Structure 1
Amino acid sequence: MKKELHEANRLSWNAATVAHNSHKGDQAAFFRNGGSTLFPEETGLLGDVKGLAVLHLQCNAGQDSLSIARLGAQVTGVDISDEAIAFAKQLSTQSGIPARFERSDVYDYFRDAQARGERYDIVFCSYGTLCWLSDLSAWARGVSQMLKPGGRFVFIDFHPVAMVFDPSWKFHYDYFNDAPVPEEGVGDYVAQSGDGLVPDGYQTGVQDFKNPHPSFEFAWGVGQVTTALGQSGLIVEHLGEYPYANGWKPFEGMRDIGGRRMAAPEGMARIPLMYSLAARKP
């Protein structure tokens, strides 16, 4: 486990989170008026969560956590970013949607939560999460340990096949990459995607954001992810792939095909841009 890289990523996310939220306007009012940031794929995978204990790993600034809590779940959100968790706590208070948020490296959280005896009906994570994990096997074991018997792990993320391209759809990154990939820092993907990631109306906010803190990402293939979860004792019940990315427009010419689902340019051969997975603990 590369904790020094996790610390670099924490600083990078602290800076980026401020820029991201600057584009989203009055988020508390959005939630008070009944808003939700969940896409149909997430609500479908989660199912009826009323009365269930849900752990949202790498929850970012808490918008999806609060959207799940609004469905009747008791939600705990965990994220490494100080800025993200501070914002999530404030948003919970101002929106009137109760949830618990904890700032922690996910691996430290697994250790501490296990010592406290915490267990959940559902463990959830989504969109741009696995690329920050330096030890996939330890993560999978932690997910399994957090689940009650019969509990479910629900996951949706951008497809690693899509991660081999640069913004102009040219091959750039290895699909198979065992080393950390250094980046200039977490970028302002919210500004890049415009209305795609802001359901309540995009605002200009911070312009031309340049992150002063570098970041480090990790490449995990679909086979590695499913194998790690299976070896942790979970039974994979669903694995789905999608020719679009919810909300995110990382490449040139992406188009909204409805419901803020972003697809490749017209005429381009379709590839998987997103995938989902659901697994159960026996």
Structure 2
Amino acid sequence: MRNDMHEANRLSWNAATVAHNSHKGDQAAFFRAGGSTLYPEEVELLGDLAGLDLLHLQCNSGQDSLSLARLGASVTGVDISDEAIAFATRLSAESGIRATFERADLFSWFEEARVAGRRFDRVLASYGTICWLSDLGVWARGIAGVLKPGGRFAFIEFHPFAMIFDATWKPHYDYAPREPVAEAGIGDYVADAGSNLAVGGYHEGVVGFTNPHPSLEFNWGIADVVQALIDAGLRIERLTEYPYANGWIGFQAMRELGGRRMGPPETMPSLPLMYAIVAEKS
């Protein structure tokens, strides 16, 4: 585990979160009006949530967590960012949708939850999460440790194959490099995606954001993820690849496919841009 790198990323996320939420307008009003930020994929992966306890890992500012609570789950969201958890807590109160949000490094949180005997029917990790984690073994064992018997882990993530490309679709990076990749800092991807991620209506907000805090990313291959979950004692029930990315405009000339799904340019062949896993605890 590299807690020093996690701490560097916490600072970078704190700065980026302020910029991201500046583009989303009155989110409490969006939720009070019945809004949801979920995509069909995660709803399908999780199944019926009515009356279930759900843990949302790396929940960011809580918009998806509150959308899940609206489906009937009792939701706990965990994130390393102080800014994200503070925003999520306010949004829960102002929207009238009940959820619990806890700020912690995920690895420390897992150990404390294990000792306290906390258990959940569903665990979700969604979109841009594991690249911030330095050890998938600790992650997978933590998930297994907080799932109830028969509980389900749903995971949806951007495809690691897509991460070999730079922004111009030119192959540039190694697939699942062994060492973390240093970046200038978490950028304003909400500004890049516009209404795809600011679903309540895009606002200009912060302009020309530059993150003062560098970040480090850990790029894991699909085999790394699957094996970590198997080693933790979970049973893989489903592995799916998708030829589109939900909301994310990570490359030049991506085209809208409908439903806030983005695909590569028409001049390119189809390629996997997301994948999903469902794993269960016996």
TM-score per shorter chain, which class?
over 0.9
The residue that corresponds to 1:38 in the other structure is 38
CA distance in 2, matches of 1:270, 1:57: 30
Report the AA paired with residue 79 of structure 1. D
Would the aligned equivalents of 2:54 and 2:124 in 1 still touch at CA under 8 Å?
yes
Report the AA paired with residue 242 of structure 2. Y
| Structure 1 position 239 matched with structure 2 position 212 | no
Matching of residues 94-243 of structure 1 within 5 Å: 94-243=94-243
CA distance in 1, matches of 2:224, 2:146: 20
3-state DSSP of counterpart to 1:112: helix
* TM-score between both structures, scaled by the size of structure 1: 0.99
Identity of aligned residues (%): 65
| Structure 1 position 50 matched with structure 2 position 43 | no
The residue that corresponds to 1:85 in the other structure is 85
Cα deviation code 1:190-237 (max 9, x no counterpart): 001111111111111001100000000001000110010011000000
CA distance in 2, matches of 1:267, 1:186: 29
Cα deviation code 1:172-196 (max 9, x no counterpart): 1110311111000010000011111
CA distance in 1, matches of 2:226, 2:133: 15
| Structure 1 position 6 matched with structure 2 position 12 | no
3-state DSSP of counterpart to 2:160: coil
Report the AA paired with residue 166 of structure 1. D
Runs of 4+ in 1 over 4 A off after TM superposition: none
3-state DSSP of counterpart to 2:266: coil
Report the AA paired with residue 144 of structure 2. S
Report the AA paired with residue 53 of structure 1. D
CA distance in 2, matches of 1:171, 1:130: 22
Cα deviation code 1:152-177 (max 9, x no counterpart): 00010100001111110011111031
* CA root-mean-square deviation: 0.6
The residue that corresponds to 1:248 in the other structure is 248
Report the AA paired with residue 16 of structure 2. A
The residue that corresponds to 1:28 in the other structure is 28
CA distance in 2, matches of 1:136, 1:47: 25
Report the AA paired with residue 280 of structure 2. R
Cα deviation code 1:86-133 (max 9, x no counterpart): 000000000000000000000000011111110000010100001001
* TM-score between both structures, scaled by the size of structure 2: 0.99
CA distance in 1, matches of 2:99, 2:107: 21
1:77 positional shift: 0.2
CA distance in 2, matches of 1:248, 1:30: 21
CA distance in 2, matches of 1:84, 1:173: 29
Matching of residues 260-279 of structure 1 within 5 Å: 260-279=260-279
3-state DSSP of counterpart to 2:258: coil
Structure 1's unaligned 5+ residue stretches are none
- Aligned residue pairs total 282
3-state DSSP of counterpart to 1:145: helix
The residue that corresponds to 2:15 in the other structure is 15
3-state DSSP of counterpart to 1:161: helix
CA distance in 1, matches of 2:38, 2:118: 25
Cα deviation code 1:234-274 (max 9, x no counterpart): 00001100010000001000011100000000131111000
3-state DSSP of counterpart to 1:83: helix
Report the AA paired with residue 176 of structure 1. A
